[in-house]
Amino acid sequence: MADVSVDPKALSEGERPIFQASWGKLFMWFFLVSDAFTFSGLLIAYGALRVRAGSDGYNWALPEEVFTHAPILHEIFHIDAPLVFVGLMTFVLILSSVTMVLAVEAGHRKSKKEVQKWVFWTIIGGITFLSCQAYEWYHFISGTGIYYNAEDHRFESGGMMLSASLLEESQETAPKIVGLEDKKVIVFYPGGLEHFYENKIHGAHGGDGGGGHEEATKLGLRNGAEITNKGDIKKLLEHAHHSHDGSFVMKWDEVGKSGLEKILKKTGTTPADIASVKVYAQKSINGDTLRMVMRNGYEITYPSLIQTLKKPGVKVDQEGHIAKIEEDGYYPSQGGASMYANQYGRKAFANLFFFVTGFHGTHVFSGVILLIILYLNVRKGTYEKRGHYEMTEKIGLYWHFVDLVWVFVFTFFYLV
């Protein structure tokens, strides 16, 4: 570091600079070490939560599928391009790191013109990266839609933050309901289905709203039927089992006893009805459908799937297939971010994803501001007058650090 002269007298301790680097650079390093600890903490927390979630593949987002949109490919051709856009972002940041280090090198030769040129390109790289992230986040926030493949009754991610479990779930629920056909379980909801879920969504215990075991004035069934006759309710509850979520359950073979069949018949519920797939909507306070409950107990919270199922033409046949969606199609999400429901799969994943990529983006943003200041000063000749371009090195260190963090973020959020 021959360019950087350090006055030994300026050092309060020791006679010579033990690191042979200027205090400015040294403290930039120390700052970066502490910042690296911050990011390490976040990434390790992410790793630990993920280990905690288990490894059966249904509990966490599919990393490659986190963002599958790419400009033009998505808007015009409706093609999924997993990883492509994020990969582009990675290359942009690497390139901007290269131009930055070239600026630093030019600074060593005190070539004002070259420093100016390379810093300029670095700024362009930084702004490009931020724009890419804005595109990505815009799609996350506004909701990203879903593709429906009519041929094999399959729902595919249309580029969204998606947990594997949600994707599986939507594939499971829509075309095929497993388990229920042979089990034939009836579930009663005190206070009616809508009321029951209303309470669940607002955090109240499901059983409370409709009155407890004794005071229930209304029982709802999944098919929408309701039982209000006091005697019938009493009879049903005598045979039904209290379940852990506040509802009541009864096996179909228990129904045959003591005239329960008659009660159910009154509501229009038949055995065939029980085995068929029905979807029930749960409305939020502002009227949006928040979740749908499938006949077998699966819940759908994914907004565009809900939207799809709400289409007037959609009917579900007795084998449990969605019968009336005939076209392949792209169903744009009506949902996106909301205060009422989590659209982003596993909560721990979404929280850390947004926090860490956002925090990194904040670093890039600060970096761009620093680079702009650097650029203006280089142009003004500040560093020429000062006799060295050490500021380029310091900001360069910061910029490389941002690139370094992205290397890790990229690996852990989009690859592994």
Backbone angles phi, psi at 241, to 5 degrees: -105, 140
The encoded tokens of residue 393 equal: 């090195």
Quick check: 241 binds other proteins (CB under 8 A)? yes
Question: What residues from 135 to 174 belong to the interface with other proteins (CB under 8 A)?
Answer: none
CB of 134 vs other proteins, minimal distance in Å: 22
CB of 358 vs other proteins, minimal distance in Å: 21
Question: What residues from 39 to 78 belong to the interface with other proteins (CB under 8 A)?
Answer: 40-41, 44-45, 47-52, 55, 64
How many positions of this chain bind other proteins (CB under 8 A)?
74
Quick check: 401 binds other proteins (CB under 8 A)? yes
When binding is defined by CB under 8 A, the residue of 9, 16, 244, 385 that contacts other proteins is: 244
The number of beta carbons lying within 10 Å of the beta carbon of residue 67 is 27
Question: What residues from 295 to 324 belong to the interface with other proteins (CB under 8 A)?
Answer: 296-299
Question: What residues from 258 to 287 belong to the interface with other proteins (CB under 8 A)?
Answer: none
Quick check: 185 binds other proteins (CB under 8 A)? yes
Residue number, 331 or 403, with CB nearest to other proteins = 403
Quick check: 94 binds other proteins (CB under 8 A)? yes
Question: What residues from 100 to 119 belong to the interface with other proteins (CB under 8 A)?
Answer: 100-102, 104-106, 108-110
Quick check: 213 binds other proteins (CB under 8 A)? no
CB under 8 A: which stretch of 123-131, 239-247, 273-281, 378-386 binds other proteins? Answer: 239-247
CB of 360 vs other proteins, minimal distance in Å: 15
CB of 277 vs other proteins, minimal distance in Å: 14
When binding is defined by CB under 8 A, the residue of 65, 136, 156, 403 that contacts other proteins is: 403
Quick check: 224 binds other proteins (CB under 8 A)? no
User: Residue 284 and residue 198: Cα distance in Å, rounded?
Assistant: 8
The torsion angle over the Cα atoms of residues 149, 151, 153 and 159, rounded to 10 degrees, is -10
CB of 206 vs other proteins, minimal distance in Å: 8
CB under 8 A: which stretch of 124-132, 294-302, 332-340, 368-376 binds other proteins? Answer: 294-302
CB of 215 vs other proteins, minimal distance in Å: 21
Residue number, 275 or 325, with CB nearest to other proteins = 275
